Structure 1
Amino acid sequence: MAKKPRDRILQAASELFYNQGIKSTGVEAIATQAGSNKMTLYKHFPSKDDLVIAFLRKRDEDFRIWFVEQVDSRAGQPKDKLLAIFDVIGEWLEIPEFRGCAFINAAAEFPVESNPVHQVSAEFYDNFRSYISDLAEQCGIVSPESLALQLSLLVEGAIVSEQMKRHSGAADQAKWAARVLIESHLSNAN
């Protein structure tokens, strides 16, 4: 079954935004790659900003579902899931198509905090930290938000390190540091 024009446009935009950057990708290139035209693009997305927000929201949804499934398939206990996060991130960093985190990249292109693109990017990491915090709380950690922030910083750092220098081993180093942090927080809980 052929994809609907809206879906084709969103897929084309997603590929181009991720590979070339948001600001350097024009709507004409998106329409062309989608096998469409600008009039149809604007019918579904009244502005490029609307298309960027739709791209980020779709990326958030797809990544979150994939990520949680991957973590859950590797570990059953909350503590093991906290460490599995780094295994999943490490595998993602190794795929040839990896171009960094779409949300970090978008926030860098739209650095003003009040910009909707920046806000959607920040929401992604707020949700990511909340996921980690929930796992930490299930472990009985006294300050789960603190551990969540620390582990999130390790993940974000590994992503940027890998984006800057491929095959850097950043995810392995981040997992090692995460293990130390988790154990420290667990010992404080007892």
Structure 2
Amino acid sequence: MRVALPRRTPTSFGATIDPRERARRRSAKVVAALGTIAMLTGCRTIDDSGPVAWAPIEDCDGTMPTGPQMISDPSFSAFVSGLRLPQNVQVSSGGARVSTARPDQVDLTLDLCLPGSADLDGLVPVATDLARALKRHELGTRTAALSVACVGPDMQGRMEVRDPDFQVHPWDGTPSPAAESRVWEVFVE
């Protein structure tokens, strides 16, 4: 009578690995990879001990610091610092978190200070330009949702536009700029 023994896999040193040990090692690699992904997508705390990469720009209303350094995720901060925002637009804060809808992607949020603009007419064009730039950037390939809010001295509350399905929308001006502007979901507090 023959007894089937677990198949062992040879290693580079000539020893063999039991299938249960191979599965345990594979699980450990998956856990390590998921931890690395979480760190790279912004699921970590800010280290205030290091130097600030950018110098703050002037306060929006004299009560809050502004600039790309206010964004908690390093890759998102680097993306925003490379943008050519209109002269009066300032970054108030922002961040990235692992998307609950798509765990392999991130949800991005950005609060902008738009002095002199307290309505959608000022926010939507800036948010649309940002979405177009993000779509062409590497960070856009792993973005599930984008939220852009307007904060500042002229605001009575918080006004935000969201694209919860960023990967679905082309953000390239098609079918028309007007139709593209209607993609945004509007939230006002």
Higher strand fraction: Structure 1 or Structure 2?
2
Q: TM-score, normalised by structure 2?
A: 0.30
Higher helix share: 1
TM-score normalised by L of structure 1 = 0.30
> Which has the greater radius of gyration?
2
